[in-house]
Amino acid sequence: MTSAPTPDMTPAEAESVYFNNYPPPKSLPKHEALARAFVDYHVQANRRLVLVTSGGTTVPLENQTVRFIDNFSAGTRGAVSAEYFLQQGYAVIFLHRQFSLLPYSRHYSHSTNCFLDFMDEEPVPDVEGASESDHRPIVVRSEYQDQMRDVLRKYRYAKRNNLLLLLPFTTISEYLFELRSLAQLMRPLGSNALFYLAAAVSDFFIPSDRMSEHKIQSSELPEHLSQGQATDGSDIYTGGLEAQQPSRSKRLVIDLDPVPKFLHRLVDGWAPDGSMVVSFKLETDPNLLVYKAQTALRRYAHHLVIGNLLTTRKWEVVFVTPDAPHERWIRVPKSRRSKSISGSEAQVGLAEAKRAGDSASGETSGGQQGEKTTSEGVEIESLIIPELVLLHSNMIAKHSPQ
Ligand code: PAZ
């Protein structure tokens, strides 16, 4: 029995091969119990519920993992979007990479926004006899009071009303197990369910039968200690061995298989009938973005692909839909864009212009409802989520009995 799905398999066959070859994550039963109760609660309330996936997945190189492959995603898109969904009255299951950004706390967990910078010791009262004490209360600095109160109130509201369920994952296989279970548990929600797949999921992995149990050694071991590691000076696997290097240190040759495309199974099997499925497509080449988003939409036959470029993702996205207008750009107006060290404003509009054969203004913007300016500028998610909620409402209306 092969341990990795092959391209000639149907999506259902690929599913069973993949899931039969990996143990489910240890936390899965606990997450399932929490999710089941959460879904039931919101089904009773006839509330819409969105599963937001967020952050990157790791690809371990060893079973007892010391080394892994990772990607850039910090989870900003997912964490910010979750807040705007909550603002729109949705309940949110936030399936996120462990230690990536979380809704609300993300305002204080950036390295540039360290929470300690928001605090102070209460000043010594300006009265006679008052003295410096070792036990002065810690307070939020006056200039941050309003912003922090706002965030705190929203966070507490979400907690008090059981509107936010945080579920972490780390590896690609944990992510896939969790996604499958959650989608199946969401079935009672019917068209009230929305899938917002913003996580940056690895496209490649190492099948279990090629995975080293222990830490891969970079130098030779005596034969009696080698336990299956190459001892003859050849490079270390995870795939075919390459040309020998006559040296005591080894090259590591990593041979990755493609991760089966489970979006098929989500749309066709796991997700509730009538639910809405939104995926993201990230590219770096402006020439490819819309083409790749359209291809994904055709291939998986879901409802919306949100395309974004690595360098402009905080200021513009494109909605690619099966229905007209098929391609719609949402942009933060130029004067209200946040500053971003890694971003490149010069590239805003490029992916659209490349297709239209002209220069895009870079000034257009999506619907303004729900838009919110922070000290860091308008968050594009404040434009994306209200647009998406409208599309979801249309789908729900189509599915409700006349
Ligand atoms: O997490 P982040 O805010 O740093 O990045 C968000 C993103 C670019 C990962 C997301 O918007 C996205 O495009 N996710 C899908 C990536 C892909 O699989 O193509």
Whole-angstrom distance, CA of residue 86 vs CA of residue 92: 7
- The CATH classification number of 14-111+138-209+256-356+377-399 equals 3.40.50.10300
pTM confidence score: 0.90
Kind and range of the H or E run holding 280? strand 276-283
**Burial (CB count within 10 angstroms: exposed 0-12, middle 13-18, buried 19+), residue 123:** exposed
Atom of ligand 1 nearest to the CA of 279: 15
Please choose, from the candidates 180, 179, 188, 147, the residue with its C-alpha nearest in 3D space to the C-alpha of residue 49.
Answer: 188
- How high is the pLDDT of residue 280? 98
- How high is the pLDDT of residue 195? 98
- How high is the pLDDT of residue 370? 46
Ligand 1 binding pocket includes 57 (Cβ within 6 Å): no
Ligand 1 binding pocket includes 75 (Cβ within 6 Å): yes
Q: Cα(380) to centroid of ligand 1, in Å?
A: 13
Helix (H, G, I), strand (E, B) or coil at 87: helix
Q: Cα(282) to centroid of ligand 1, in Å?
A: 6
CB 331 within 8 A of CB 320: no
- How high is the pLDDT of residue 3? 66
Ligand 1 binding pocket includes 34 (Cβ within 6 Å): no
CB atoms within 10 A of CB 274: 15
Helix (H, G, I), strand (E, B) or coil at 317: strand
DSSP string, 151-207: HHHHHHHHHHTT-EEEEEE-BHHHHHHHHHHHHHHTGGGGGGEEEEE-SB--SEE--
Q: Pocket of ligand 1, candidates 263, 282, 288, 305: which has the most ligand atoms within 8 Å of its Cβ, to mutate?
A: 282
Ligand 1 binding pocket includes 280 (Cβ within 6 Å): yes
CB atoms within 10 A of CB 124: 11
Q: Cα(201) to centroid of ligand 1, in Å?
A: 9
Ligand 1 binding pocket includes 308 (Cβ within 6 Å): yes
- How high is the pLDDT of residue 99? 96
Q: Give the rounded distance of the alpha carbon of 325 from its chain centre.
A: 26
Written as one letter, the residue type at 287 is: N
Whole-angstrom distance, CA of residue 168 vs CA of residue 101: 11
pLDDT in tens, the chain (402 residues): 566 788 788 888 888 889 998 889 999 999 999 999 999 999 999 999 999 999 999 999 999 999 999 999 999 999 999 999 999 999 999 999 999 999 999 999 866 778 899 999 988 877 777 677 778 899 999 999 999 999 999 999 999 999 999 999 999 999 999 999 999 999 999 999 999 999 999 999 999 888 899 998 877 777 777 665 654 445 555 544 344 545 556 788 899 999 988 999 999 999 999 999 999 999 999 999 999 999 999 999 999 999 999 999 999 999 999 999 999 999 999 888 888 777 888 899 999 877 766 555 444 444 444 445 455 789 999 999 999 999 999 999 998 876
Q: Pocket of ligand 1, candidates 53, 73, 80: which has the most ligand atoms within 8 Å of its Cβ, to mutate?
A: 73
Please choose, from the candidates 200, 241, 229, 249, the residue with its C-alpha nearest in 3D space to the C-alpha of residue 57.
Answer: 200
CB 199 within 8 A of CB 78: yes
Q: Cα(266) to centroid of ligand 1, in Å?
A: 19
- How high is the pLDDT of residue 368? 46
Ligand 1 binding pocket includes 201 (Cβ within 6 Å): yes
The residues with which 54 forms a beta bridge, in sequence order, are 96
CB 289 within 8 A of CB 281: yes
